[in-house]
Amino acid sequence: MTALLNVEALCLEVDQKTLLSNISFSLLQGDYLCILGANGAGKSSLLKILMGINKATSGNILLNQQNLADLSQKKRAHQLSYVPQAQGHQLSFSVEEFIKMGRYAHHSALSDWQQADRVAVERAISITHTEDFLHRKMSTLSGGEVQRVLIAAAVCQQTPILLLDEPTSFLDPHHQIEVHKLIHTLNQQHGISIIEVSHDLNHATQHSQHILALKQGETLWYGDSSALLQSQQLHSLYEQEFVFTHHPQSGAIVALPSES
Amino acid sequence: MKPIHILILIIIISCLIVGISPHLGFTANNPEIQQHILTQLRIPRVLFAFVAGAGLALCGMVFQAMFHNPLATPFTLGVASGASLGAASYVYLGFGFSLLGIDGVTLSAFVGALLAISFVYSISRLHSGFSPETLLLTGVAISFFFSSLILFTQYLSDVSDSFQIIRWLMGSLNTVGYHDLLQLLPFVALCTFAILFLRRELNLLMLGDELALSRGVSVHHIRYTLFFVSSLCVGAIVALCGPIGFVGMMVPHICRLLIGSNHSWLIPATLLVGGSFLVLCDTLARLIIAPTEIPVGVITTLLGGPFFLWLLIKFKRIGT
């Protein structure tokens, strides 16, 4: 199977500082990739290159076998959608207006709202269970609600790949689980390939299929998620020793920061 | 209330203001003279004020959306002072050219506006994490710089030119006949159409550059287009009426509170409220100490100063 997204030897230098060096990975159809790393490891820089905010200094990104640099912003938005961190969205848009804006890439300047748009928006709303607050203003939503609305807007963009930037960082445990379930559903039932930047080591090892661990702009570890916990590299990822135990319910191995 | 109801209300109020204003403050008793004043002075002046106000408010709306900041307007960012400097230099140098039927003074003001915005924008892009505060302070610095250059041209000018520049800098809508209106209308109309055409992009720009890019907006192209058309519009207005401040800050902000941020509704609302607001200010300027007229720029600035402070206090951190 050919990869949806293929990143080869990606480098980024800003002001003679190397932010990313020689990053390579690929994403298959239906894949779930988590990008881990300490603060400043280059996770956001990588995401920004994928979204076309920053340009890579060297290296190749192939999106559906097309060179990412050659795609217009609109063409790129047909392939990749993005869910930012849920903070600072003090907008006076209503939830419905905000979600509908996800359809931008499917319109030309003069085209009207069409049946396909209506269907896409309704579907996104029902998947994310955002029906109940469609008419509220974005600024009145709680953190968990904002995150679901942000995901709904990205889903109605109807892209094969969804990028999420720390989707649960600002949420309490209950809403973290709720959002993770939603991402899982999108991946498993709707076949959307996921790239998630995360700080949650246990979530990544248990729920994603692959992990790309970055350290100081370099690939520290890349492979099957379950294998990371056995890796010698784990302690070097966060400069932290871990101890391991089994989750009382699922039996999965969980890593806890060592206290010594 | 739904946006459509609010818009209908705005339309009704605007019609009333525009319809009534020309008939206020008549002193002559002769009906023939009254008729002449009405058709040759009052009606063109009200229409002129309406178009200018609509244009100023619209450009303010565009800047606020692009910089995600209620305090960012062509005036606070120094674009209007750039236009003023362009126009003042034209008067001082005594040029007399025109291009494609556009007055040279308008063209000079446009060039000044474009220079100012290019400068502010390049500075704001020097560092990626530039704060809105820095952007505004850049605008203030540019305004000071251009103002001193204007003072310099004024100092070098003879007394009558100098007086002309001062009166014009206060902002005035004193017009006779329809010539000024016809000069201004194409610019404001062009700007309005361009902005209506880009209403979806404006909505997305309000979400921030990252989200706008990810939704498929070519942020930089759109921004340059919007800078170009709004500089054209501000240039034309400044050249013809002088720098009338604060309309572009107050009106779009109030409209956003009334009708929300969706530009499909916000654009018509801003046009109408901006137009009526300036008509109202100009009528006040005519009536307060009649028969002497106060420059309308004085009225809008008297209202705008406190409004600016209110915004500053309300948005403790600018840009949130």
pLDDT (average), residues B50-69: 90
Chain A interface with B: residues with Cβ < 8 Å: 48, 51-53, 72-74, 76-78, 80-82, 84, 88, 90-94, 97-98, 101-102, 104-105, 107, 109, 154, 157, 163
Pairwise CB contact (< 8 Å): B209 & A92 = no
Closest CA to B23 of B283, B275, B276: B283
Give the rounded percent of residues in chain B with a pLDDT score beyond 90.
20
A216-225: long-range contacts (C-beta < 8 A, 24 or more apart)? A216/A40, A216/A41, A216/A42, A217/A12, A217/A18, A217/A19, A217/A20, A217/A21, A217/A41, A217/A42, A217/A45, A218/A21, A218/A22, A218/A23, A219/A22, A219/A23, A219/A24, A219/A25, A220/A37, A222/A24, A222/A25, A225/A34
d(CA B48, CA B178): 8
Q: Is B70 exposed, middle or buried (0-12, 13-18, 19+ CB in 10 A)?
A: buried
CA distance B200 to chain A (A): 8
Residue type, B178: Y
B97-103: long-range contacts (C-beta < 8 A, 24 or more apart)? B102/B183, B103/B183, B103/B239
pLDDT of residue B141 exceeding 80, the answer is: yes
According to DSSP H, which parts of chain A are helical? 43-50, 73-79, 95-100, 115-128, 143-155, 173-188, 201-207, 234-238
How many Cβ atoms from other residues are within 10 Å of residue B61's Cβ? 28
Contact present, A130 and A99 (Cβ < 8 Å): yes
Stretch (H or E) spanning A218: strand A218-224
pLDDT (average), residues B190-202: 92
d(CA A54, CA A146): 26
d(CA A183, CA A196): 9
d(CA A183, CA A56): 28
A210-215/A32-37 β-pairing: parallel
d(CA A193, CA A186): 8
Task: Give, in degrees to the nearest 5, the angle at Cα A34 between A30 and A39.
Answer: 160
Q: What is the ipTM of this complex?
A: 0.87
How many Cβ atoms from other residues are within 10 Å of residue A190's Cβ? 12
d(CA A247, CA B203): 46
Mutate to test the interface with B, among A104, A151, A155 (most CBs of B within 10 A): A104
Closest CA to A17 of A217, A197, A214: A217
E strands, B51-159, are 98-99, 102-103
The DSSP bridge partners found for residue B296 are none
What pLDDT, on the 0 to 100 scale, is given for residue B266?
93
CA distance B24 to chain A (A): 38
Of B217, B262, B320, the CB nearest to A93: B262
d(CA B73, CA B80): 9
Average pLDDT of chain B to the nearest whole number? 84
Helix %, strand %, coil % of chain B (to 5): 75, 0, 25
Exposure class string for B180-219: b at 16+ Cβ within 10 A, else e: bbebbbebbeebbebbeebbbbbbbbbbbbbbbbbbbbbb
What pLDDT, on the 0 to 100 scale, is given for residue A71?
86
CA distance A138 to chain B (A): 11
Pairwise CB contact (< 8 Å): B210 & A82 = yes
- Among chain B residues, the shortest Cα distance to A88 is held by B320
The DSSP bridge partners found for residue B44 are none
What pLDDT, on the 0 to 100 scale, is given for residue B319?
43
d(CA B314, CA B311): 5
Contact present, A124 and A102 (Cβ < 8 Å): yes
d(CA B311, CA B304): 10
Mutate to test the interface with A, among B125, B215, B218, B221 (most CBs of A within 10 A): B215
- Among chain B residues, the shortest Cα distance to A71 is held by B216
Average pLDDT of chain A to the nearest whole number? 86
Q: Which residue has the tokens 């009606």?
A: B43
Residue type, A87: Q
Mutate to test the interface with A, among B193, B214, B256 (most CBs of A within 10 A): B214
Contact present, B239 and B9 (Cβ < 8 Å): no
How far, CA to CA in Å, does B198 sit from each of A157, B189, B316? Answer: 19, 14, 31
- Among chain B residues, the shortest Cα distance to A156 is held by B215
pLDDT (average), residues B17-41: 79
pLDDT (average), residues B206-212: 85
Question: Lowest-confidence range among A196-205, B140-149, B306-315?
Answer: B306-315
Chain B interface with A: residues with Cβ < 8 Å: 197-198, 200, 203-204, 206-211, 213-219, 256-257, 260-262, 320
Q: What pLDDT digit, counting tens, does each position of A212-225 carry? A: 998 888 888 898 88
What pLDDT, on the 0 to 100 scale, is given for residue B130?
59
- Residue B320 confidence class, pLDDT cut points 50, 70, 90: very low
- Residue B99 confidence class, pLDDT cut points 50, 70, 90: low
d(CA B73, CA B79): 8
- Residue B12 confidence class, pLDDT cut points 50, 70, 90: very high
What pLDDT, on the 0 to 100 scale, is given for residue A90?
64
Q: What pLDDT digit, counting tens, does each position of A85-140 carry? A: 876 556 778 899 899 999 988 887 777 788 888 899 999 999 988 888 888 888 88
Q: Is A16 left (phi over 0), alpha (psi -120 to 50) or beta?
A: left
Q: Which residue has the tokens 């402070």?
A: B309
Contact present, A49 and A7 (Cβ < 8 Å): no
pLDDT (average), residues B98-120: 80
Tens digit of pLDDT at every position of chain A (260 positions): 678 888 988 888 888 888 888 889 999 988 999 999 888 888 888 988 888 888 888 888 888 888 888 888 888 899 999 998 876 556 778 899 899 999 988 887 777 788 888 899 999 999 988 888 888 888 888 888 888 899 999 999 999 999 998 888 878 888 888 889 999 999 999 989 999 998 888 888 888 999 999 888 888 889 888 888 877 778 888 888 888 888 888 888 888 888 86
- Residue B318 confidence class, pLDDT cut points 50, 70, 90: very low
Q: What pLDDT digit, counting tens, does each position of B257-297 carry? A: 888 888 989 999 999 999 999 999 989 888 888 778 788 88
d(CA B256, CA A124): 27
